[in-house]
Structure 1
Amino acid sequence: MLAVSRMYDRQTYPDPQSPDRVLLILDLTASMCRRILMGVARYARVHTRWSLAPESMDSAYTNLAKQAGNYIGMIGMLRVSDAPDLEVVRASGLPAVNVSNNAPPGDFPAVLNDDAEVGRMAAAHLLERGFQHFAFASVGNFQFNVERLAGYREMLAGSRREVISVHSGSDRRGIARWLRDLPKPLAVFCASDLTSRHVSEACRLANLQVPHDVAILGVNNDELICDTCDVPLSSVQPNFEEVGYRAAELLHRQLRGLPLPEGPVRIRPVGLEVRRSTEVTASHDVLVAKALAIIRHYASSGMSVKELATHLPLSRRSLERRFKKVLGRTLHDEIRARRLERARTLLLESDRPVIEVAQAVGYADRRRFARDFQTAFGDTPSAYRKTGRVRT
């Protein structure tokens, strides 16, 4: 690490017209890679005088083998499946940071999307919609598929639910046959937006309505995919800009000879963009479905279980028993979960003080809010904001 630092010191801005070049190996046809690039650029503008040199996945490694001396370091999608290309990276001797979620363990410092948390967030959303039957669809044998499915299963297990079926592949007719055989209404979490599109097209082939027969939820919030389907697709939004920002920060630390984290840095998703593909309440019990809809809209106002019961033709006790029987969780748990989900979004997407966030979602007691939030998400509100948002 010291040798890298000395090399960097000798080359630091000898000419204002020739800033140090950083190679970026990214597929810029993919929205996630463009967001990573934006995060890298944000860090570089504020903290360095780097010249960013994006290269396509096809040409980057060939150019690197010939021109490694033109760069001081690199950030890229260094994938397990690209073994010959990884050898080119190693042979270059350049400091590198990996941003691929199919990363070779331990080869390079890495900043990765927290894919298990993506799966947990997906399950929480589909549970909140009242589904009882859950499936998972993906394409390819990628590590991020494995981790997203694991998080999905973990969250469902906490509500005594399970993934009843898993499908891998992009053939629409095969997906249609798979969907026909599963109980309805069905919630399908897809490992990517592209897989969501495949499932949506398969539903049309199988004469299944989205979202009433099959609700579909993807990952990446690629608007070009999500907004152009027959039924616009809901999607979990990873924080790819933060991935890029933190990757640039990690490369900068390498170049200065500073200590690095022992393992990959994991970045939590920002939230979830709800579109029509999950805009449904899946309970066959009309009163439970109505209770869910009311909670979804008014939980953050400070509404209590007692107040909720006044909007329905049932006593509070009868409503609580019915809700627990149908969904396996209490009304109080549901209201608290919706408040905390809203709080998570406000923490990541606004600069409001924690006390104001607590009040905005119906908590009068900041300490109780902090305790509930940490129980739900594993961090205090302040720590969650610090580790999960995009730096500006």
Structure 2
Amino acid sequence: IIYSSIVYPKEILKLNLPSIIATYTVNQIPPWPNIIVNNKKVSKMAADFFLNKGFKHFGYCGFDYFPWSQERSAYFNTEIRKAGHAAHIYKKPKSKIYNMWKYEQDSVKNWLKSLPKPVAVLASNDLRGQFILELCKTSGLNVPDEIAVLGIDNDKVVCSISSPPLTSININYQKAGFEAAQLLEKLMNGQKSQKQQIIIEPTTIITRRSTDTLAIDDKDIATALSFIRENANIPLQVDEVAQEVLISKRTLQRKFKKSIGHSIGYEIKKTRMEKIANILIETDRPVYRIANELGYNDCTNMVRSFRQFMELTPQAYRRKHK
């Protein structure tokens, strides 16, 4: 397996050995099988995540010289435009001076300050997301209230040491690694491969403090959503949400449906199922323990609800996505 991080590996490929390419600096290297990320799905997941939070201003900050970053930028912009908005794409100035760390920092700082607020920014990967968070801190920009930041890769070390902790799209690199190993074994045994791509799929978004905000104009809806998310680990009832907002259940149901597009009950269930999914991916806790922590009287009830919503049992979801 060849991982091309800096240069095109021409000399190695001339040896004509069984190879699978995981390239960083070019799109693909035919005719060998290539490992690639489904950037279209990644970008759609990011756009949907921000749109569901009510954002109307969006940004993308990546690297002009990497094809995978350019792809994510283009797909993200397309999805945002479909929703009737536009994404502000960071473009590094062409002068070579901006290759220097100090000047690159200044350029991104100025871009962040220029964005309309509140704004949702997708970073091309977690390292770029951490970089953006650091610049927001030194620029006096509040995260997540002024700028919500979403990374890609779910690198647990990078996300956890970021300040605030970085929300990120989890990519199933482990599954792709197993597929690549199986394919390489076949190639080494002299079998020809019909598979020219190993697609790495995103699985879910692991939410952390960097996106813990809502850009909802209606204060009642914003209060309801915040209350639901803050209480995702208890079996919340619609009546309790209405009591927190201090309006009638009927009025809140009507406003919620108009603003969010579905019922309060569905939002409660969705939030609970996403909470379970995050725990399954982020930890090795037994399913029965998760059910107990989230207030289920019977583990079977949680498993049934999760399966209905995710179309997989908790165990199968963990095996597929972790």
- Separation of aligned partners in 2, 1:216 and 1:210: 8
Q: 1:225 to 1:302 in 2, by over 3 A?
A: closer
Partner of 2:187: 254
Whole-angstrom CA distance in 2 between matches of 1:143 and 1:337 = 34
Deviation per CA, 1:330-359, whole angstroms, max 9, x where unpaired?
535534543443454466566978xx99xx
- Distance change >3 Å, CA 149–CA 352, structure 1 → 2: farther
Change (3 A) 1:117 1:165: same
Q: Which residue of 2 aligns with 1:334?
A: 267
Rounded to whole Å, the distance in 2 between the matches of 1:190 and 1:253 is: 37
Instruction: Provide the C-alpha distance between the structure 2 equivalents of 1:162 and 1:100, rounded to a whole number of angstroms.
Output: 32
Match of 1:294 in 2: 227
1:249, distance to aligned residue in structure 2 (A): 1.9
Query: 1:138 corresponds to which residue?
Result: 62
Which one-letter code corresponds to 2:55 in the other structure?
A: F
- Structure 1 SS opposite 2:64: coil
Q: Secondary structure at the match of 1:311?
A: helix
Could you list the per-position Cα deviations for residues 14-66 of structure 1 after superposition, in whole angstroms to 9, with x for gaps in the alignment?
xxxxxxxxxxxxxxxxxxxxxxxxxxxxxxxxxxxxxxxxxxxxxxxxxxxxx
1:218 maps to which of 146, 151, 170? 151
CA contact (8 A) 2:280 2:314 kept: yes
Q: Residue 94 of structure 1: CA displacement?
A: 0.6
From 128, 135, 146, give the equivalent of 1:195. Answer: 128
Kept after mapping to 2: 8 A contact 1:342/1:361: no
Choose the corresponding residue for 1:373, options 295, 301, 310.
Answer: 310
- 1:98 corresponds in structure 2 to 21
State the TM-score, normalizing by the size of structure 2. 0.73
Contact 2:32 2:196 in 1 (8 A): no
2:95 maps to: none
The CA distance in 1 between the partners of 2:280 and 2:208, in whole Å, is 22
User: Secondary structure at 1:236's aligned position in 2?
Assistant: strand
CA distance in 1, matches of 2:183, 2:268: 40
Q: 1:254 to 1:100 in 2, by over 3 A?
A: same
In the superposition, the TM-score normalised over structure 1's length comes to 0.62
2:36 matched residue in structure 1: 112
**Cα distance per residue 1:222-276 (max 9 Å; x no partner):** 4554444453433333233333333222211211244635342223335444433
Matched to 1:82, the amino acid is V
Instruction: State the Cα distance separating 1:121 from its structure 2 match.
Output: 3.6
Greater relative contact order (Cα < 8 A, sep 6+) = 1
1:165-314 superposed matches below 5 A: 165-169=88-92, 171-204=104-137, 206-222=139-155, 225-258=158-191, 260-269=193-202, 271-299=204-232, 303=236, 305-314=238-247
Selected match of 2:7 from 82, 91, 102: 82
Aligned to 1:211, what secondary structure does the other structure show? coil
Distance in structure 2 (CA, Å) of the matches to 1:121 and 1:276: 18
Please list the CA deviations of residues 148-193 of structure 1 after superposition, one character each: whole Å capped at 9, or x if unmatched: 34554566577x3644311133723222332233221111110022
| Pair member with larger Rg | 1
Does the CA contact (< 8 Å) of 1:370 and 1:381 recur in 2? yes
Does structure 2 retain, via aligned residues, the 8 Å contact 1:211–1:277?
Answer: yes
Count residues with an aligned counterpart: 305
Distance of aligned partners of 1:91 and 1:351 in 2 relative to their CA distance in 1, 3 Å threshold: farther
Looking at structure 1, the residues matched to 80 and 126 of structure 2 have their Cα atoms a distance apart, in angstroms, of 21
Q: Given the superposition, is the C-alpha separation of residues 92 and 351 from structure 1 closer, same or farther in structure 2, using an over 3 Å criterion?
A: farther
Q: In structure 2, give the amino acid aligned to 1:126.
A: F
Q: After TM superposition, give the deviation of residue 204 of structure 1 in Å.
A: 4.0
Letter in 2 for 1:287: D
Q: Is the 8 A contact 2:64 2:70 kept in 1?
A: no
Q: CA deviation at 1:109?
A: 1.4
| 1:313 CA displacement | 0.9
Cα deviation for residue 282 of structure 1 reads 3.4
Take 1:136 and 1:283, find their aligned partners in 2: how far apart are those partners? 21
| Distance of aligned partners of 1:103 and 1:286 in 2 relative to their CA distance in 1, 3 Å threshold | same
Distance (whole Å) between structure 2 residues aligned to residue 121 and residue 361 of structure 1: 29
| RMSD, aligned CA | 4.0
Alpha-carbon distance change, 351 to 211 in structure 1, aligned in 2, over 3 angstroms: closer
- Identical aligned pairs, as a percentage? 28
